[in-house]
Amino acid sequence: MSSGGAEDDIPQGERKTVTDFCYLLDKSKQLFNGLRDLPQYGQKQWQSYFGRTFDVYTKLWKFQQQHRQVLDNRYGLKRWQIGEIASKIGQLYYHYYLRTSETSYLNEAFSFYSAIRQRSYYSQVSKEDRPELVVKKLRYYARFIVVCLLLNKMDVVKDLVKELSDEIEDYTHRFNTEDQVEWNLVLQEVAAFIEADPVMVLNDDNTIVITSNRLAEAGAPLLEQGMIVGQLTLADALIIGNCNNQVKFSELTVDMFRMLQALEREPMNLASQMNKPGMQESADKPARRENPHKYLLYKPTFSQLYTFLAASFKELPANSVLLIYLSATGVFPTGRSDSEGPYDFGGVLTNSNRDIINGDAIHKRNQTHKEMHCLHPGDLYPFTRKPLFIIVDSSNSVAYKNFTNLFGQPLVCLLSPTTYPKALQDQSQRGSLFTLFLNNPLMAFLFVSGLSSMRRGLWEKCQEYLRKINRDIAQLLTHSRSIDQAFLQFFGDEFLRLLLTRFVFCSATMRMHKIFRQETRNYPETYPQLPRDETVENPHLQKHILELASILDVRNVFFENTIDDY
């Protein structure tokens, strides 16, 4: 308590106000610190604890607003302390988003982080000779940047990066600290992350297109009359990233970031209130399907990955799908055994504490000693007891062609090309082209066509034409006479429907692209196999792709006569 007067001179009501504030502050810190001990997997153990934590922070926030004058005079409340409370609330909303995948909580986190900046809560920190306070401010900036990246607020991100850079420079100039290199690395990582996405400049006003790749209303092709599809719903997704040298920020690689957004709806604009999450639903609000729940796993060990898989599998509701997305370096076997099984084709490396051999993939010298953290197709067999949708983006994705559906449940694997043309390999650090197609197919098409600027009207025309292509791909898949029924059983879910149609568009585009045909002849594949003549090599679809290329004046990049012996 500050020395605003002798303690005996403080009126009893004001003393109680300070005491109550200190109690709430201590309780909030205790509960917040306890969040670290909650299991990261499982859906039910953590909700009541989060609820109690939000309750205390709600009371604390309102209390400091109602009693600001007394707290200023008798407690010596500083603006950075208010900022710290607001920052913790922003963190709570962000972590609630991570736990629930409900994008509206990102907006809530943004509201509190933005208020800290607008009201300059941390502005006086630099005047105090306490490096730990400056670090709180730097961490706030880093967290704010992550939230803005997830909300595609790129203009705000660039302003924040500039401010963070200035703050780090001032921090390292004033204090001789050991974490200077770490904070400079944070700056480098976020700068590289921003640069990773292909950029499209609109010539009309020289603006850069900022696209949101979340599922908007009517974003997926609508199911039309006559389309017979299953009623499965995507409920859970594991997004796993371990690509060598790929750009990352805050344990989120570019590929993970893109897939994360492909599995979310556009955020709802909730009015920012300090209500406990989950209590903001009203009876008159229209029903709205939730986002699938996601686990984001950056370089998980095999045991960590299996723990999360088991938790997801255990809690998967009836008639629901588990999605596994693997963006990871390939692990290749050195030889072939007499009887090839699900552990003889290699797999993907989810974690490694040693240097990558040959930069691109792990080649084991001793076939009897397999890589511990390699996820083989056989490792996923136990989880095929329920509907499973797998996406593998790796230099050894083809290992998952050797899958076996042992339990008769719906099972589909979408597999990336294992190599890319030389001209595109230099871009691998900026994320995989395959995942870019699944996240933003128009931007991927423009990228392989060598385009980085166009008129606004042309951009909008291409978007509309791509929607038409997606609708026609949906018809091709559902009207196919020889397609495996697993594809159709997943087709009733909006997210999976969008991924499947984007996959077909990606595969068809690569098969028609001259640089792919001339250099690699290496295309995306599936398990079970799609009927090529009815889908990825369908003449009707090929005509659409050529028409899109004509609209963009890049038809020369693609083969006209596309019927070929692949």
Tell me whether residue 274 is in a domain.
no
Tell me whether residue 366 is in a domain.
no
Buried b / exposed e across 455-469, counting CB within 10 Å, b at 16+? eeebbeebeebbeeb
Q: 241 with 151, same domain?
A: no
Tell me whether residue 362 is in a domain.
no
Identify the pLDDT of residue 566.
39
Q: 238 with 194, same domain?
A: no
Identify the pLDDT of residue 223.
76
Helix (H) or strand (E) holding 415: strand 411-415
* Number of compact structural domains in the chain: 2
Strand positions, DSSP E, 436-541: 453-454, 525-527
**Amino acid of residue 478:** T
Identify the pLDDT of residue 357.
43
Tell me whether residue 5 is in a domain.
no
Identify the pLDDT of residue 514.
93
566 residues of the chain, pLDDT tens digit each: 444 444 556 687 888 999 999 999 999 999 999 988 888 887 666 888 899 999 999 999 999 999 999 888 888 899 999 999 999 999 999 999 998 899 899 999 999 999 999 999 998 887 787 889 999 999 999 999 999 999 999 999 999 999 999 999 988 888 877 788 899 999 999 999 988 888 788 876 778 877 778 887 556 777 777 677 889 999 999 999 998 788 999 889 999 999 999 999 987 655 444 455 544 433 333 345 689 999 999 999 999 999 999 999 999 999 999 999 999 999 988 766 656 777 888 999 999 765 444 444 444 444 445 788 899 999 999 999 999 999 999 999 999 998 888 999 999 999 999 999 988 876 778 899 999 999 999 999 999 999 988 898 999 999 999 999 999 999 999 999 999 999 999 999 999 999 999 999 999 999 999 999 888 789 999 999 999 999 999 999 999 999 999 999 999 999 986 544 43
Cα distance between residue 331 and residue 405, in whole Å = 22
Tell me how many degrees the CA angle 68-69-71 measures, rounded to the nearest 5: 65
* Nearest partner of 402 among 385, 389, 387, 415, judged by Cα: 415
Q: 106 with 247, same domain?
A: no
Q: 194 with 255, same domain?
A: no
* Nearest partner of 112 among 96, 135, 130, 134, judged by Cα: 96
Identify the pLDDT of residue 335.
67
Tell me whether residue 275 is in a domain.
no
Give me the residue label for tokens 């994008």: 103
Identify the pLDDT of residue 439.
95
233 contacts: CB under 8 Å, gap ≥ 6: 317, 319, 320, 321, 492, 493
Q: 309 with 417, same domain?
A: yes
Tell me whether residue 457 is in a domain.
yes
Q: 489 with 545, same domain?
A: yes
Q: 85 with 157, same domain?
A: yes
Residue 328 Cα distances to 178, 243, 284, 313, 362, angstroms? 32, 4, 45, 22, 11
Cα distance between residue 262 and residue 440, in whole Å = 8
Identify the pLDDT of residue 3.
44
Q: 133 with 190, same domain?
A: yes
Residue 39 Cα distances to 42, 256, 373, 422, 451, angstroms? 7, 22, 22, 44, 46
Tell me whether residue 79 is in a domain.
yes
Q: 178 with 264, same domain?
A: no
Identify the pLDDT of residue 287.
44
CATH of the domain at 95: 1.25.40
Identify the pLDDT of residue 281.
39
Tell me whether residue 276 is in a domain.
no
Q: 183 with 264, same domain?
A: no
CATH of the domain at 476: 3.40.50
Q: 173 with 94, same domain?
A: yes
Q: 241 with 137, same domain?
A: no
The domain of 474 spans 233-268+290-333+341-352+371-557
List residues bridging with 202 in a β-sheet.
Answer: 207, 454
